[in-house]
Amino acid sequence: MLDITLSLPRKAVAAATDEGGGLGGGQWVGRGQLRREDAALLRGEGRFVGDIRIPGCLHVVFVRGQQCGRILVIDTVAARAMPGVSGVFTAEDLSLCGQTAVNPLVGTLEPAPLKVLAREQVEAVGQPVVAVVAETLHAAIDAAELVIVETSPDTAPLAGNFSQAWPHAAPEPRPDDVVVRVNVQHARLSPSAIEPRAALAAWDAATDHLTVWLATQTPHRARADLAVVLGFPETAIRVIAPDVGGAFGGKASIYPEDIFVAWAARHLETAVRWAGSRAEDLLAGTQGRGLHCEGVLTLGPDGVMRGLHARVQAPLGHWMPFSAVVPGRNAGRILPGPYHLDQVDVAVTGTATPDAAMGIYRGAGRPEAAMLMERLVEAAARRLEMDPVALRKLNLVSPHAVPLHRPTGEVLDSGDLPALLERAVVESGYHTSRREQAARRSAGEILGIGVAMYVEPCGAGWESARLRLCPNGSFEAATGATAQGQGRETAYAQILADELHILPERISVQHGDTALTPLGIGALASRSTAIGGSALKLAGAALVALARPIAARMLGTNNSQALIFDARGFSQPGSQMVVNWAEIAATLEVPLQVEQRFETPGEAWSSGCCIAALAIDPETFTPQIERITLVDDAGTVVNPMLVHGQLIGGIAQGVGEAMLERIVYDADGQLLTGSLMDYALPRASDIPPVHLASHPSPTPLNPLGAKGVGEAGCIGVPAAIVNAAIDALAPYGVHDLTMPLTAESIWRALRDQPKTGVPTP
């Protein structure tokens, strides 16, 4: 049964339950508010790409490569002759002008280009080879089945690689040092959003303008990529992200299918749509994780860490989306995680592989860094015969050392890591659990407790905002950030309500439409509340500053700075006369409007601690998580209810990674997990009792003091679960496990590590 509890600091609890007073409703940041977005969705009034109807719209079906190899024959004659077919296209038919961008964050980078349709060879099973466009979806499907694609088994080498190193030579071990090694192979995972990928494009011949509806996290970047690839000016393209049913990084970049739909709309001078299926997402959507991480940790006999040597290898797939280097780079630069360790030698390499493209997936290198470091710490604790909590306390970064410049060039900006650990120990009843563990083991149970600390970078760069006072006294806000279910409109309205001293209901929030919003980056890397919200906070302050002289004139004074501004409006000290927003708006011939751009001077770092308890059935070897405790530091919490939801969702995905999910290819590159019958997503019954607690420390790097929380839930959870499983099996000689932790994998681990007292596999 799903059992979730939430523990917040006293101030946050008061804010979440206080109804407030006055016209502005009191302090809104920190107050729990139901998501304003939910009412329409619950009534079935959501507007997703698939809900948009354009008369005469054509439909696209892609013929995908069935095996890797050089293309010998593409026969489209029969397909072209089918009734209702508007066109059958191969790579030779496309006239494209450029390439999509790849973020050059690493030392060396050779991008693997995106190919809209395979030209000379099929580089991965599932790669689009032929596009069939027809008047109806069924006609397109029927025609696609008549396309013949023949390939030979020989393939050419794939392009695409990157590398990055942080070489700070770790010291040579001394005779009395303890050296532990860990080797982690992460399974590939599918982001598996509720809504599969989709695209719709419409060409307006009268204005030479293209409108594209995409299920995307980054509409402005999608517009920029489309402009480059199609050879259009950005002003001739409008990208709209309507309601988006989840993303998790899987909709952060533009895809070959998106580009073809846009090209076909222009080429055929009409509207064209493509709606991907679940199978197509599993086959040809970007995948996450998949990193291979090796680490060697050296400690003194007293348990003090002396050096870390780590190597990270990242598969890239057959083409590189915008953030292709991010998972590997993050896994490297985050090390040594929350621990005070200067001697660090880390290197990351990425290599093209003949399978689906690898992209960012919720966490994007953060869970991988936590897994490697926390597995090393647990292994060291066993070797030193120390309690793993005590070993962590000995090595955690002190709050007095923050801000701390790391050997990888990163800067930990804020946080109290020892306090997070201690809070997690208390909230989880750790010491009592250890005593109970000993008693239950004596009774024959197989039980483990796992701990994992983490730190995570929460977005760098900038975001923009526009704020307008409407004639009726309400407000329209527009942000370059986007949303895929996080409750962004709710949180942004709360931030502005505090700045403007009004109720959040008086603020509408526009996002996701390049024609209606200022230029922005979008929603990814746990950045939108901290950076996008800070831009809106600045816009609110700027609008108040513009309104002051107007209010002063209405109040008959020239001293606008002396005015009192509160929930009633603007007033002079000692006077009962008040000018409110509606009265100001009524005097204006042109609505009052401001635009602000916020760029953070550095990257904020969230942190947290997760403690998991796990039992293994001694007869079936089935693992069961008994409880998870997570204490996080996300800085200033705008809406505790939204944070709670983000953490629970992240924990569910962390449980899925640790216990269930894995993309599998066979030796010929065929996908064996091509449906949800084979790819195991977590269900509600798989989620254990969860206890959440918040221990925030605001960051100085943005006006809100906020850090990211969207990825926090899935960062420490997999490491804590794996550590708990190994703790359970360590008495039987098992010190290594590979995710996902299935009954079979545990059975095999026990079988391969025989020792007296092992349950009989």
> Could you read off the pLDDT of 211-249 as tens digits, one per residue?
999 999 999 999 999 999 999 999 999 999 999 999 999
Burial of residue 645 (CB within 10 Å: 0-12, 13-18, 19+) is: middle
289, 657 Cβ separation under 8 angstroms? yes
pTM: 0.93
**Per-residue tokens: 129:** 């080879």
510, 480 Cβ separation under 8 angstroms? no
Question: Where would I find the beta strands (DSSP E) of 480-591?
Answer: 507-510, 564-566, 569-571, 578-579
For the cut 60, the answer to whether the pLDDT of residue 350 exceeds it is yes
Parts of the chain belonging to CATH 3.30.365.10: 17-46+461-599, 191-284, 396-459+603-761
Burial of residue 581 (CB within 10 Å: 0-12, 13-18, 19+) is: buried
For the cut 60, the answer to whether the pLDDT of residue 20 exceeds it is no
Query: In this predicted model, which residue has the larger pLDDT, 2 or 85?
Result: 85
Half-sphere exposure of 571 (CA within 13 A, CB side): 10
| Domain at 191-284, CATH from 2.30.40.10, 1.20.120.1200, 3.30.365.10, 3.40.630.30 | 3.30.365.10
Give the C-alpha separation, 55 to 273, whole Å: 12
Half-sphere exposure of 371 (CA within 13 A, CB side): 34
- Return the percentage of the chain with pLDDT > 70, whole number: 95
pLDDT for the residue 210: 98
Give the C-alpha separation, 332 to 408, whole Å: 8
> Could you read off the pLDDT of 252-284 as tens digits, one per residue?
999 999 999 999 999 999 999 999 999 999 999
- When the pLDDT of each residue in the chain is averaged and rounded to a whole number, the result is 93
- Residues in a beta bridge with 7: 693
Confidence of residue 572 (pLDDT cuts 50, 70, 90): very high
Give the C-alpha separation, 559 to 553, whole Å: 9
Parts of the chain belonging to CATH 3.90.1170.50: 50-152
Residue among 269, 290, 216, 317 nearest 657 (CA): 290
Residue among 412, 409, 415 nearest 603 (CA): 412
- Give the number of residues written for the chain: 761
> Could you read off the pLDDT of 436-489 as tens digits, one per residue?
999 999 999 999 999 999 999 997 899 999 999 999 999 999 999 988 888 899
Residue among 523, 472, 477, 524 nearest 504 (CA): 477
The arithmetic mean of pLDDT across residues 647-653, rounded, is 95
Helix (H, G, I), strand (E, B) or coil at 655: helix
Confidence of residue 13 (pLDDT cuts 50, 70, 90): very low
The arithmetic mean of pLDDT across residues 298-303, rounded, is 96
Tell me which H or E stretch contains 230: helix 219-230
**Per-residue tokens: 190:** 């599918």
The arithmetic mean of pLDDT across residues 525-530, rounded, is 85
For the cut 60, the answer to whether the pLDDT of residue 3 exceeds it is no
Fold for 17-46+461-599, please state it.
Aldehyde Oxidoreductase; domain 4 (3.30.365)
How far separated are the first and last CA of the chain, in Å rounded? 29
| Domain at 396-459+603-761, CATH from 3.40.630.10, 3.40.190.10, 3.40.50.300, 3.30.365.10 | 3.30.365.10
734, 753 Cβ separation under 8 angstroms? yes
Fold for 50-152, please state it.
Aldehyde Oxidoreductase; domain 3 (3.90.1170)
Would you tell me how many other CB atoms lie within 10 Å of the CB of residue 274? 26
Nearest-10 crossing angle of helices 366-384, 388-395: 110
Residue among 462, 447, 472 nearest 522 (CA): 462
3-class SS letters over 580-598: CHHHHHHCCCCCEEEEEEE
103, 323 Cβ separation under 8 angstroms? yes
Q: Is the peptide bond before 698 cis (omega within 30 degrees of 0)?
A: no
Contacts of residue 676, defined as CB under 8 A and 6 or more positions apart, other chains included, come to 278
pLDDT for the residue 522: 82
φ, ψ (nearest 5 deg) of residue 708: -85, 155
- Return the percentage of the chain with pLDDT > 90, whole number: 88
For the cut 60, the answer to whether the pLDDT of residue 729 exceeds it is yes
